[in-house]
Amino acid sequence: MLEKFLPSIVTYSDFDHVEIYVADNASSDDSVAFVKQAYPQIKIVQNIVNGGFAKGYNDALQHVDADIYALVNSDIEVTGGWLKPMIAAFENEPNTAIIQPKILDYKNKNKFEYAGAAGGFIDKFGYPFCRGRIFSTLETDKNQYNDETEIFWASGACFFIRSAVFQELQGFDEDYFAHQEEIDLCWRTKNSSKTIKYVGFSTVYHVGGATLKEANPTKTFLNFRNSLFSLVKNLPENKLVPIILARLVLDGFAGLKFLMELKPLHFAAILKAHFSFYRHFSKMLKKRKKSAKTANYYKLNSIVWQYFILGKKKYDSLLK
């Protein structure tokens, strides 16, 4: 990944205004040696342990002095001019705390990519979806999202955040390990009355699934469990119990769907996710802040109903 995608970062970054770091998450290969030899101008942070996406970034960013952090996965290819519109948005909008670019599929460059597409939202029950991607349906990029707009969450695959906000909110929740920790951080950012944006005039390409393939039950486990974590931590007080109960039932139906599709390992992953959620429930409850939670946190009542029952597969059809 470093050999393939680091060159685009180097080529399309202005070294007068940008410092590039490689955060090595306790790798056991020759990644560090490769970077030192091929890119001596790049700074390297070597984490002692592999704490996943969340702890990995939390540990590495302690060594980075910058106003803006651009967190870029190792399977991202950036393009010419990718930084300029992002920096301009931060400079012109003091309340904007987090920004995501347009994320297209590296393997099929006219399609949006699963992890973030053109900016993310969640429904009433915490299920995430994106402009350009709903569940497994990916839209073709026809410049329909060449815009700037406020979103609910930005993808961790290419995630810009003001360092002051990251530090104020104590970064990613390390109990997540990986998957959906960016949604939690974005929700906490919203709860602190700051704005999250999508800037579609900057484009990157994402391989996706480089760490965990979509068919991997571990991904299912982390997504289902961590989504429940975010609900407990961030839901408005009056919605906490009814939404959590409804979500547990909906997850049960998702498990039955996996069984009918002859995917017993994914069914087991949901069960495992729920048991892990129960074990961590009191811990997550203690993480709730006293500040007011975002009242209108969701874009739709149920993306599951819209997609599977009404057959609405594209973002622009959801609001009709």
Structure tokens at 154: 């930005």
pLDDT per position as a tens digit, 95-133: 999 999 999 999 999 999 999 999 999 999 999 999 999
Q: How confident is the model at residue 264, as a pLDDT?
A: 96
Residue 31's CB is within 10 A of a number of other CB atoms, namely 18
CA-CA-CA-CA torsion sign (242, 245, 251, 252): negative
Distance CA 186, CA 99 (A): 10
DSSP 209: -
Q: At 278, is the pLDDT very low, low, confident or very high (cuts 50, 70, 90)?
A: very high
3-state secondary structure of 28: coil
Contacts of 210 (CB under 8 A, 6+ apart): 1, 73, 74, 75
Q: At 296, is the pLDDT very low, low, confident or very high (cuts 50, 70, 90)?
A: confident
Task: Decide if pLDDT at 15 tops 80.
Answer: no
Buried residues in 175-198 as b, exposed as e (16+ CB within 10 A): bbbbbbbbbbbbbbbbbeebbbbb
pLDDT per position as a tens digit, 135-144: 999 999 999 9
What would the mean pLDDT of 240-265 be, rounded to a whole number? Answer: 96
Q: How confident is the model at residue 290, as a pLDDT?
A: 72
Q: How confident is the model at residue 295, as a pLDDT?
A: 79
pLDDT per position as a tens digit, 179-221: 999 999 999 999 999 999 999 999 999 998 655 556 789 999 9
Residue 180 amino acid letter = Q
What would the mean pLDDT of 40-66 be, rounded to a whole number? Answer: 96
Distance CA 7, CA 10 (A): 5
Q: What is the mean pLDDT of the chain?
A: 94
Percentage of the residues of the chain whose pLDDT score is greater than 70:
97
Distance CA 228, CA 240 (A): 11
Q: How far apart, in Å, are the Cα atoms of 91 and each of 35, 84, 118, 162?
A: 31, 11, 21, 11
Q: At 294, is the pLDDT very low, low, confident or very high (cuts 50, 70, 90)?
A: confident
